[in-house]
Amino acid sequence: MIMNNNPIGIFDSGVGGLTVLKEIQKKLPNENIIYLGDTKNFPYGNKNKEDIIKFAIDNMNLLIKKDVKLVIIACGTATSQAIDELRRIFQIPIIGIIEPTIEYVKKQGYDEIGVIATEGTIRSGAWESKLKEMNPRIKVINKACPMLATIAEKGKAQSAEGRAVIKEYMEPFKKNHVNKIILGCTHYPIYEEIIIEELQYDVELINTGVTVAEYLDMYLNRNNLKNTENVKKEEIYLTKPENEFKNIAQNILGEIIDIKAI
């Protein structure tokens, strides 16, 4: 039985999903949240589909044991390769980062868009095929950014290395003045300012955390699943302890949340 006062489960391979957690906190400040970072298996971006599905199933089971009422896959790599399989296996509602973002792009009526994401996500073609399903005439410019999640996970996004890879990855967008880019990996909002500095023109960086929070709000309302109690709880679990995690979490969320091992 799904109870509306139960927590929302969120998972990612590491710190990236905290950018989604942050937007959910803003939009739905009364929801209890359990976050799971699968640091033991980080990074997901360079692994094959079978591995991603296996990790995602394990994450689902861990969250379901904590009585979550629904699960947010706050990871582009897992959304692009595992969401269909997870929905086949689990009864619980599952929201990924792609569908809510496609809804947003549809509402805006965009006909050209850039997508940056991990190698695995770009290889899956999931963003491009969903965007084209929505609008067959849309022009999609894809760019895999293999280094970004790993650099961010080390807390080095602002370093010279971080800036150098952003410069390289932004080339195809800069050349063509692409001014709407989906941040198709949840680690990427960490680079928002650096990307804007590099492009030097007016650009909309679409943060999937924002579209997910919007969609989740609607979903909870429609299904009468909003938390009605006034006690708010947030927990972060990691499958392997990581030194940098706490600092990065604090930078993203602006608050200290206790981090536990699972």
Burial 127-159 (b: 16+ CB within 10 A, else e): bbebbeeebeebebbbbbbebbbbbbbbbebee
| Site for ligand DGL contains 22 (CB under 6 A) | no
Q: In 125-240, which residue ranges form alpha helices assigned H by DSSP?
A: 126-134, 148-153, 160-176, 192-199, 208-222
β-partners of residue 205 are: 181
Number of residues forming the site for ligand DGL (CB under 6 A): 16
Active-site residue (options: 15, 115, 145, 185)? 185
Residue 257 · residue 32 · CB < 8 Å: no
Binders of ligand DGL in range 49-108 (CB under 6 A)? 75-77
Catalytic (active site) residue 75: yes
Closest to ligand DGL by CB, 67 vs 85, is: 85
| Site for ligand DGL contains 185 (CB under 6 A) | yes
Active-site residue (options: 8, 10, 56, 75)? 75
Residue 33 · residue 69 · CB < 8 Å: no
Binders of ligand DGL in range 121-140 (CB under 6 A)? 121
Minimal CB distance residue for ligand DGL? 45
Query: Given the rule CB under 6 A, which residues bind ligand DGL?
Result: 12-13, 16, 42-45, 75-77, 118, 121, 149, 185-187
Q: Which residues are catalytic?
A: 75, 185
